[in-house]
Chain A
Amino acid sequence: MNRLYIFYDGECGLCRKCREWLACQPAYLKLVFHPFQSEEARRLCPDLPRFQPSEQLIVLSDEGGVYAGETAWLMCLYALREYRGWSEKLAAPALRPLARRICLLVSHHRLQLSQALFHLPGHVLEGVVENSEEAKI
């Protein structure tokens, strides 16, 4: 696995902030971001609507593995140099249900959170943002 495609909600300010943060982090895997509403997202993953990207974050690996919901968030952590250990900790049976609940809560209230935290109105962002640092394994 060398590359992760992250399909986020382009209308959500919180998701865009998360994308900006992820793109700045040193990573083991190359991260490619697309709003799930974009043409490029549909081209890369024609199956995308089946995984309900409007309800939850979707991450697709270059091997064809699809990660949805909390596993998608944990895969984002797994890709990062500084947070790979956290993905393992949070995926453990003791913490996984908590991680799932938090991710569900944040996903369901992401637009309200965007408004409350960043005062960001929603609009679709087109285009691709790739993180600048390649994996150095």
Chain B
Amino acid sequence: MNPTVWLYLVYLAISVALTVWVAQTLHKNGRIFLVDCFGGNEPMADSVNHLLVVGFYLINFGYVTLALKTDTPPVDTQQVIENLSGKIGIVLLVLGGMHFLNLIVFSKLRKRGQEPDMPPPFAPTGYTLPPAPQE
């Protein structure tokens, strides 16, 4: 096997492992958040959680696959490591970006779930007698 094939194999192994680890972390820790968002509706939270993880996998594996090919094939070990470092660095940044995007989605869902119990965001301008119900 030439150095380029080694580069691809190591890149794929590390990227897939990282993606699976981040997805599992999100899946495990995001569940509690989602159960709270959906007012304790666990089947709904599990369903949304699963769908989010599927989307996460699709986007990340899609990016990892597209970014596989290298424009400067390495000829020695040093270049393999440099090339690998650049590629893994970008995958990590994409994963980080996706992770924060997921957190934003989670917090928006949570906020929306709490809206029915939200008090008015300001006090009344004044007070008067409560209106008598219609006769």
Which residues does chain B contribute within 8 Å of A40, judged by CB atoms?
A: 134
C-alpha spacing A16/B70, complex, angstroms: 64
B112 CB within 8 Å of chain A: yes
8 Å CB contact of B129 from A47, A68, A69, A71: A47
B86 CB within 8 Å of chain A: no
A28 CB within 8 Å of chain B: yes
8 Å CB contact of B120 from A47, A51, A66, A75: A75
| Minimum distance in angstroms from A92 CB to a CB of chain B | 8
| Chain A interface, number of residues (Cβ within 8 angstroms) | 32
| Minimum distance in angstroms from B107 CB to a CB of chain A | 12
A25 CB within 8 Å of chain B: no
Which residues does chain B contribute within 8 Å of A91, judged by CB atoms?
A: 121-122
8 Å CB contact of A60 from B117, B120, B131: B131
B126 CB within 8 Å of chain A: yes
8 Å CB contact of A68 from B125, B130, B132: B125
A1 CB within 8 Å of chain B: yes
C-alpha spacing A85/B110, complex, angstroms: 12
Which residues does chain A contribute within 8 Å of B128, judged by CB atoms?
A: 45-47, 60, 64, 66
A67 CB within 8 Å of chain B: yes
The residues in B between 92 and 125 inclusive whose CB is less than 8 angstroms from any CB of A are: 111-112, 115-118, 120-125
A129 CB within 8 Å of chain B: no
Q: Is the interface of A mostly helix, strand, loop or mixed?
A: mixed
Q: Mark A79-116, 1 if CB is under 8 A from B, else 0.
A: 00000110110011000000000000000000000000
The residues in A between 1 and 60 inclusive whose CB is less than 8 angstroms from any CB of B are: 1, 5, 28, 40, 43-47, 50-51, 60
**A64 engages B129 (CB within 8 Å):** yes
C-alpha spacing A3/B100, complex, angstroms: 39
C-alpha spacing A71/B126, complex, angstroms: 11
* B interface list, Cβ under 8 A from A: 111-112, 115-118, 120-132, 134
A-B contact pairs, 21 of them (CB 8 A): A43-B132, A44-B131, A45-B131, A46-B129, A47-B128, A47-B129, A51-B125, A60-B128, A60-B131, A64-B130, A65-B127, A66-B124, A69-B125, A74-B121, A78-B121, A84-B115, A84-B118, A87-B120, A87-B121, A91-B121, A91-B122
